[in-house]
Amino acid sequence: MPDLFEILHTTRAMRRLKPDPVPDELIRKILEAGAAAANGGNFQRWRFLVVKDPAIKQAVQVWYKKAFDEVVGPRYARSAPPPGVTQERYARQHAAVEYLTEHFHEAPVWIVACLEEGTAAPNRWSGASIYPAVQNMLLAARALGLGSTLTTRHLLYEKEAEAALGLPPGVHSYAILPIGWPMGNFGPVGRGDLSQIVFQDRWGEAYPAVAAE
Ligand SMILES: Cc1cc2nc3c(=O)[nH]c(=O)nc-3n(C[C@H](O)[C@H](O)[C@H](O)COP(=O)(O)O)c2cc1C
């Protein structure tokens, strides 16, 4: 088992997944890691829908792809690489995003992270009570050698995708994690320099401990 810091620094978006089945014991471990996360007031309004049914995944993939064709694809085509990412790596990411779009439903298992919120509108506090669980699940999957990606694109067609998932009224989805054995290898994440994003005491002033080398 890799050590925690190795897991943290190599939990990348793994978008190319084999369709081979994933044992339920491993999915259970991932879910347990999710439900170990902190959440506001410890209300535990999270709900995790495990989806294996090909027809349901396919029905959601239609909306996921439509959102790519209409919004995400064109945006990639005109945007520059983010900090810490080379042009070449960005192009590889785009290709992987397109691959996942086409094969989203072929991931053997999805975990759909939801909150049972009743009539309350989703807000920053709701997100703060589900994304720690989502990140725990991504880290747990990585620790088990399973690939996944935090995806939210289905929210561009939220109503349609949630209807395809059969979510009842008052339940909102926050992420879909397609999970499977990765085709490629885990590697280090590429992010910007800490010195660009960390300040000390006053906005814009350097924190010397993370000064650029
Ligand atoms: C809030 C959020 C939403 C995301 N939604 C998607 C998505 O819908 N589809 C996708 O392929 N990747 C999605 N990602 C993954 C990011 O695009 C990914 O982390 C980024 O490309 C960097 O890749 P890396 O983590 O492998 O370095 C999302 C990540 C976050 C944090």
78 has a pLDDT exceeding 90: no
| pLDDT at site 61 | 98
Going from the Cα of 15 to the center of ligand 1, the distance in angstroms, rounded, reads 10
For residue 14, give the nearest of 100, 134, 105 by alpha carbon.
Answer: 100
SS3 state of residue 88 = helix
pLDDT at 82: 83
Rounded Cα distance, 53 and 68, in Å = 23
Region 111-135 average pLDDT = 94
Q: Which CATH class is domain 4-210?
A: alpha beta
Phi-psi region of 172 (alpha: psi -120 to 50; beta: other; left: phi over 0): beta
Ligand 1 pocket test, pick from 150, 157, 177, 191 with the greatest ligand atom count within 8 Å of Cβ, gives: 150
- pLDDT at residue 89 in the model: 86
Measured from the Cα of 100, ligand 1's closest atom is: 11
Residue from 149, 185, 186 to probe ligand 1 pocket by mutation (most atoms less than 8 Å from CB): 149
Instruction: Please tell me the distance between residue 202's alpha carbon and the centre of ligand 1 in angstroms.
Output: 30
- Is 90 exceeded by the pLDDT of residue 2? no
pLDDT(84) > 90: no
Boundaries of every domain in the chain: 4-210
pLDDT digits (tens, 9 = 90+) for 26-69: 999 999 999 999 999 999 999 999 999 999 999 999 999 999 99
Q: State pLDDT tens for residues 159-176.
A: 999 999 999 999 999 999
pLDDT digits over 130-145, tens only? 999 999 999 999 999 9
Q: Is 100 in the pocket of ligand 1 (CB under 6 A)?
A: yes
Sorted by sequence, the CB contacts under 8 Å of residue 100 that are 6+ apart come out as 15, 16, 149, 151, 178
Is any ligand 1 atom within 6 A of the Cβ of residue 15? Answer: yes
* Confidence (pLDDT) at 212: 76
- Cβ(51) to ligand 1 under 6 A? no
* Residue with CA at minimum distance from ligand 1 atom 12: 151
Q: What spacing in Å lies between the alpha carbon of 150 and ligand 1's midpoint? A: 6
Mean pLDDT for all residues in the chain = 95
**pLDDT at res. 75:** 87
State the DSSP string of 6-20: HHHHH------B--S
